[in-house]
Structure 1
Amino acid sequence: MIRSVQIALSAGRGLSWQTAAQALRLVHCARCLAKAQGSLEVRSTPAEHRTEDARVGLNEAYTEGERDAILDTLNNASEGELSSIKLLRGKKSSSLVQYRKQHGPFLDLDSLVQVPYFQSKIAVKVFDSILNAASREQRKERKPEGRAPSRLVKPSIPAERLEAAESIVSIVFGTQKIAWAHMERNMNVCDWQQEEFYRFMKGTYHGHVYLEDISPVVSKIPRADFYVLEKPGIPVQNSSLFPVTLHLHMVEATLYALLNMRYAADGDHCVVSMARTTVGKHFGLMVGESRTSGVDTVKQLINASVSPGKPWVTFSQELILRYRHQFQTRSQKRNEEMCDALLQAITFYDLVT
C-alpha cells in the first residue's frame, strides 16, 4: 500500500491537494504500524528461552563451594534467620519459606527465580548477601583469642601479660564503700573485704581529701599482678547524677595513681578497668541495659564451696566462717560492692586470661 501511494504521488498531477494530504497521513500511519509490528517481533522471543539463559548465568556465576553455601542457607535457614540477611527481610523471606514448603528444597540457584519477588538481578544480590554473611561469621570464628582482652579491659594489655597473671585484686567502689577481692589463678579467694567512708559525698569534698581517705585503704590491699577496677557506668546524659559521676571518677583516678606506681618507671600498666555490664552479661545479671544485684549469685558460690564436688571458686576457711552467715541473713546492708568485687575477679579470669 505504501508503494502504491508513493507512485500516485509521483504522478502528482491527477490528485487534488486534499487527496494528497490523505495519502501522506496513510503513509505516516503505515510506517508507525510497521514499526510497532517490528518491536512486537523483537519481544516475541519465547519466555522459557529467556528464563533458561538466566538460569545458566546464575549457576555459572558461582563456584561449587559458593553454590553449596547458598543452597544450604536457602533450604535450611528459618524465616527469622533469613530475615537477618540483607535483602531477605519482609515479604522475601516469608515468600521463600512458603515456596520451600510447597515445592521442597531448592536444587539449584536458578530455582529461586520461580519464587515471587525474586528476579534474576535480585537473586544475584541475595546470593552475594548470603556469601558475605557467611564470610563475616567465619572471620568471627578465626578471630585470634589474643584480641579479646583489649575489648574487655582498658587500657589494652598484651595478652601474654594477662595470661601470666598469677593473682589479681578486683576493686569496686561506690558512694560510701571500697571493696576488694584478692584471687589467685586457681580461683582461690585469699582476701575479701571492704572499707566504709563517712566523708564521701558529704559537703565539699576536695581532691586532697580523696588522697587522705583512700591512701590507708590502698595500704591494706594485697600485692598482685593486676588491679582490676570497676568502670563507673553512670550515663553522662543524666545531669542530676553529675555529683555521683564526678565522685566515682575521682575515686577511680586516685586508685589509678596510688596502685600504678610502677608506671612512671617502666611504662607498663598494672591497673585496668572493666565495664560493669561485662560482669553482668557473664553471670546473666542483665535486664535490658540495666545490671541487677549479684548478691544471690555470691550466696550460691559460697554454698557451693562447702558442698561436695569441685566448686567454681574456693575460699579460705576464715573467709567462709566470716561471710557465710553474713550473706545468708537478710539485712539492709547487702554488701553489693563486696559481691561485685568477687564476681568481677571471676569474670577477669574466665574471659580475659
Structure 2
Amino acid sequence: MWVMERFLSSVIQRGQSGLLRRSLRGSLPELELRYLQCTCCWRSLIPVAGFETLNATLSSSEPCKDDGGKPLDACYTSEQRTVILQLLNNASLAELASIKLLRGRKSTNIVEHRSKHGPFKSLESVVDKERKVRIQLAKFIKPEVDRSWLEEASSIVSIVCGTNKIAWAHVDRQMMVLDWQHQDCPNFLKGTYMASAYLNDVSAVVSLLPPASFYLIEKSSISIQNTTLFPIMAHMRTVEAMLFALLEPKIAPPEPNIPPRVLNMMRTAVGRHFGLMVGESRTSGAQTVRQLMAESVTQKLPRINFPQELLLRYRNHFQMGSRRGGEELCDALLQAVAFYELLCEC
C-alpha cells in the first residue's frame, strides 16, 4: 500500500499553492523545497516541488514502517483526501498518464471506472480498483520467474523475429534506449528451411546483441488450427528455439538460484497494453512508436527516452506508406516498453 500512499501524497501538490517557499529571514535568499508529512508516522517527509523531483522520490522512497495496517483513508487528513479525490475524479487521461506511477493501463483504468461507476468516493476504492485489474506476470512472461529477479534487471534486450529479419531494442531500467536496430536474414523462408542456413543467420544476429540482464523474445500468437499459416509458425518456432539455445548460458544441472536469462513475452499482451488489438489480430504499432519518439523530445518525463542519434536515424522510418519495413523495429521497442510498464502494474 505504501506505493499508493506515496502517489496520493504527490497528487496533493496540485491542490497546493506555493510549492516553493523562501528560506527563513537572515539566511540566503534561496528557494527551498516544501514537504508533506506522512500522517502514518509523521516522520517521513515527502518533497512536493515539481513532478521531476516527485517522480524520482516515488520510485525510491521507503515505505512507512508504522502504518499498522491502517486503511489508506486513515493515512491522510480530511483536507488531503478531498484534494486527492477531486483531482482523481476530474483529471483527464493525459493528466493522469503524466504521473509516472499511473502510466500504462492504470490511468486508463481510473478513467474507465469513473465513466462506468461514477467518481471515487474513498481512497481505498482507488486501491481496490487497481487490485482487480493487475496483470499477473505469468500471463505475459514465460517461463515463470521470480518477480524480484526481473525488478533487479539493469537492462533488457527485446527481440522480435520477422519473415526476413530480426529486430531488437536494448532498454535500461531508466527507460533509455541504448540500442535499436534490425538485421536482414536472407535465408529465412527460403527453399527447404535448411537448419544450417537458419543457424548462420540467427548466429550472425546473436553476435551483434549487446549484453543484458534478460533477453525477451516475442511469442507469436499464430493458432495451430490455422493450417494455412503453418509454414510461418514453423519458421517462428525454429528461430525462437535457436535464439533460446544460443543466448541461454549452458548450466548443467540448472541451479535454482540462477534465473533464466532468456524469456518469452506474449505478443498479444503487448498489443493489449498499447490498444493495438482488433479482435484477436494485432494492428501496426508504427503510430504509437512515432508518438513515443515525439514525446521524448517534447515532454519532460516521456515514457521512454531516445538518444539524439537514434531519433535522427529513424525520424522518417515509420511514416504512413513507408516501405522501409520497420514493423519488427516497432514491435521490439513496444515490447520493451510494455515489459517495464506491465512489471510496475503487477
Distance in 2 between residues matched to 1:264 and 1:206, nearest whole Å: 29
TM-fit CA distance, 1:141: 3.5
The question of 1:162 aligning with 2:153 is answered no
Identify the residue that residue 300 of structure 1 maps to in structure 2: 291
More helix by share: 1
Greater gyration radius:
1
Provide the aligned C-alpha RMSD in A: 2.3
The question of 1:205 aligning with 2:193 is answered yes
Q: What is the TM-score of this pair, normalised by structure 1?
A: 0.57
The question of 1:340 aligning with 2:331 is answered yes
AA of the residue aligned to 2:221: G
Q: What is the TM-score of this pair, normalised by structure 2?
A: 0.58
> Which deviates the most, 259-268 or 205-214?
259-268
Other structure's SS at 1:171 match: strand
AA of the residue aligned to 2:296: S
- Conserved 8 A contact 1:182-1:192: yes
Q: Any idea what the Cα deviations from partners look like across 1:156-196, whole Å, max 9, x if unmatched?
A: 01111011111000000011110000000011000000011
- Conserved 8 A contact 1:263-1:269: no
Other structure's SS at 2:238 match: helix
Going from structure 1 to structure 2, the CA distance change for 1:176 and 1:264 (only over 3 Å counts) comes to: farther
Distance in 2 between residues matched to 1:200 and 1:262, nearest whole Å: 26
- Conserved 8 A contact 2:137-2:144: yes
TM-fit CA distance, 1:326: 2.2
Gaps of 5+ in 2: 1-127
AA of the residue aligned to 1:170: S
What stretches of structure 1 move > 2 A for 4+ residues in a row? 138-143, 262-268, 325-330
- Conserved 8 A contact 2:317-2:326: no
- Please list, as runs of the form range in 1=range in 2, the aligned pairs for 1:107-256 lying within 5 A after superposition: 141=131, 148-256=136-244
Going from structure 1 to structure 2, the CA distance change for 1:257 and 1:304 (only over 3 Å counts) comes to: same
Gaps of 5+ in 1: 1-137
Q: Could you tell me which of 253, 277, 294 is aligned with 1:286? A: 277
Identity %: 50
Identify the residue that residue 83 of structure 1 maps to in structure 2: none
Matched residues, number? 215
Going from structure 1 to structure 2, the CA distance change for 1:142 and 1:239 (only over 3 Å counts) comes to: closer
- Conserved 8 A contact 1:169-1:228: yes
- Conserved 8 A contact 2:317-2:324: no
- Conserved 8 A contact 1:170-1:341: yes
Other structure's SS at 1:345 match: helix
Identify the residue that residue 305 of structure 2 maps to in structure 1: 314
Distance in 2 between residues matched to 1:187 and 1:262, nearest whole Å: 30
AA of the residue aligned to 1:321: L
